[in-house]
Chains A and B, each alone.
Chain A
Amino acid sequence: MLPYLKEISGKITQSEIWKSVFRHGYEDTPRNRVLQILSNIWLHIHPATINKNSINISFTWCLGGLTFFVFLFETLTGVLLMFYYTPDVNKAYADMLDLSNNAAPFGRLLRNTHRWAGHAMVITVCFHMLRVFLTGSYKAPRQFNWAVGVVLLVLTLLLSFTGYLLPWDQLGYWAITVGTNMAGNTPLVGYQGPFAQPLGFTIDNDIRFALLGGTSIQAPALLRAYVWHCIALPSLAGGLMMLHFWRTRKDGFSGRL
């Protein structure tokens, strides 16, 4: 490198500003390896050192981490989609067409990636569960974290499900019809379910009605799906993920000694 460039870069990395942001050097020393984890808010989710066998790809297949990454990816693309999409029965479908026709820059890619990554997340979370089962990693002391995981699995499915209605096309409309009709058959609280009639549940006050905001899928149902999909469920899932990761650390990772 040109000597004066070196001097300039030295000046920069020695400056107060630089050092206030980057708190340690980058030579590959054991101390820096540890600091790299501990002094970084994002990376210190990891322990500084870990059992060698735990990080074999063939142990976790990176599936939990991948699920989390896909969740972040969905959050990013989802927020971008929110800039263009209106949860209004007169606009939603047209907004989808606009995105697909690249009326917004990269609209089609944005929509496609958000859609396919959503499917991918369902797949990775299922296989993460399978791996945790097969390595017996739910056994004491990790029982509770497994239960948290099951809730995350359900939330992942619901996230995907609520998103299905948003394009307001025939595919989503009738898929959500099938799904919410099942809710109408819930014992005790669904108007078509066993034992619901004596309790006074009818088509306009049961659990299906609460989900749809009406007796059939109309504008209120679209708005509800939107709010669940973009705010309520991601917040719940995000919060539980924090708990899930915290417990993964505190319970001790299960990799064999």
Chain B
Amino acid sequence: MANTEATAIKTQPKQTQAGSERVHTWPGLVAKEFLCALLFLVVILLYSYYVDAPLRELANPGEPENPAKAPWYFLGLQEALVYFDPWFAGVVLPTFIIIGLMVLPYIDINPQGSGYYTFKERKFAVTVFCFGFLFWYVLILIGVYCRGPFWAWFWPWEQWTLAFPTPPPLWSLSTPVGALLLLAYFGLGMWLPTRIWKDFYQRLGIIRYSITVFLLLTMIGTILKIGLRLGLNIKYVLQTPWINI
């Protein structure tokens, strides 16, 4: 299949195995691409004819927008700012996401399900990825539709006002408790699966396993922290002179 030039020299599509028919890309594929492009053009022209691109007043450094919202595709990160300090929400978290995406093919060594849609053969991978993808978009939707002045929560049908109730006071765990809790979370999180899912651990090997579980724990931990803030009004789990988490 990889050697397409060799097949091309014979002008008839080669019948390889039963059921794997090869067809000419002209017109089969090219026509579909052309139609896709055409459809896109029609949609974008129609939409642009009726809906104008936003343009507010002239930029004025002395008069901040309230709320000042990042472009929608970054609102997930801005939403994370509610729960984390900016060095984590705006820099470390997205870096983890990018690195996690890039190493994904190297840590997912399940040979099943390459080249076709399947859930059954890769339940773990599909579940985690789809969950992350969905979570990203839920945060975006919240950022776009449910955040008003001072990033306070307003339902889309509510009028924005400045008279929202003051949020409850926040508190933080003491440093030793927080450090212990984090150590326990990551320590047990790394260790327990090697006991419970022995062959998962053995299949991956120590390096792939560590990377996979570390990324997974970070993802779950991020969500847990959001839960701690919403449920228990916890500002920081860990406070140190240098960083707060």
Contact = CB atoms under 8 A, between A and B. Distances in A.
A30 B12 contact: yes
Interface stretch (B52-60, B154-162, B163-171, B206-214): B52-60
Given A48-B7, A133-B129, A169 B55 contact: yes
A194 B102 contact: no
A129 B13 CA distance: 30
Interface residues of A, number: 99
Interface stretch (B103-111, B185-193, B224-232): B103-111
A193 to B, nearest CB: 5
Contact of A257 (B17, B24, B73, B112): B17
A116 interface: yes
Contacts of B116: 135-136, 256
B104 A138 contact: yes
Contacts of B78: 178
A175 B52 CA distance: 19
Interface string A146-175: 110011011001001100100111111111
Nearest to A46: B25
Contacts of B13: 30, 49
Contacts of A140: 105, 111, 114
Interface stretch (A2-10, A106-114, A224-232): A106-114
B32 interface: yes
A151 B101 CA distance: 10
B87 A46 contact: no
A36 B52 contact: no
B89 A182 contact: yes
A221 B48 CA distance: 28
A214 to B, nearest CB: 11
Interface string A130-142: 1001111111101
A33 interface: yes
Contacts of A183: 90-91
Nearest to B12: A30
B153 interface: no
Interface in B1-47: 1-2, 4, 7-8, 11-14, 16-17, 19-30, 32-33, 36-37, 40-41, 44-45, 47
Contact of A100 (B33, B55, B85, B106): B55
B58 A146 contact: no
Interface in A43-60: 43, 46-53, 55, 57
A252 B4 CA distance: 8
Given A49-B4, A49-B13, A51-B1, A170 B59 contact: yes
Contacts of A178: 68-70, 74, 78
A122 interface: yes
Given A49-B14, A135-B117, A136-B115, A150 B102 contact: yes
Contact of A134 (B17, B73, B126): B126
B223 interface: no
A173 B63 CA distance: 11
B77 interface: yes
Nearest to B37: A69
A29 B65 CA distance: 63
Nearest to B26: A36
A50 B25 contact: yes
A195 interface: yes
| In the A-B complex, the 6 residue pairs with the closest CB atoms | A182-B90, A47-B4, A143-B105, A112-B48, A48-B8, A174-B68
26 contacts: A46-B29, A48-B8, A50-B4, A50-B29, A52-B23, A65-B37, A69-B37, A69-B40, A73-B40, A112-B51, A115-B54, A116-B48, A150-B102, A151-B102, A169-B58, A170-B59, A171-B65, A173-B60, A175-B69, A179-B74, A181-B90, A187-B92, A195-B242, A218-B61, A251-B2, A252-B1
Interface of A: 30-31, 33-34, 36-38, 43, 46-53, 55, 57, 62, 65-66, 69-70, 73, 89, 93, 96-97, 100, 108-109, 111-117, 119-120, 122, 126, 129-130, 133-140, 142-143, 146-147, 150-151, 153-154, 157, 160-161, 164, 167-175, 177-179, 181-183, 185-187, 190, 192-195, 216-218, 249-257
Given A48-B7, A140-B105, 12 more contacts: A37-B24, A37-B26, A52-B22, A55-B28, A112-B49, A115-B53, A154-B98, A160-B71, A167-B55, A169-B59, A182-B89, A257-B20
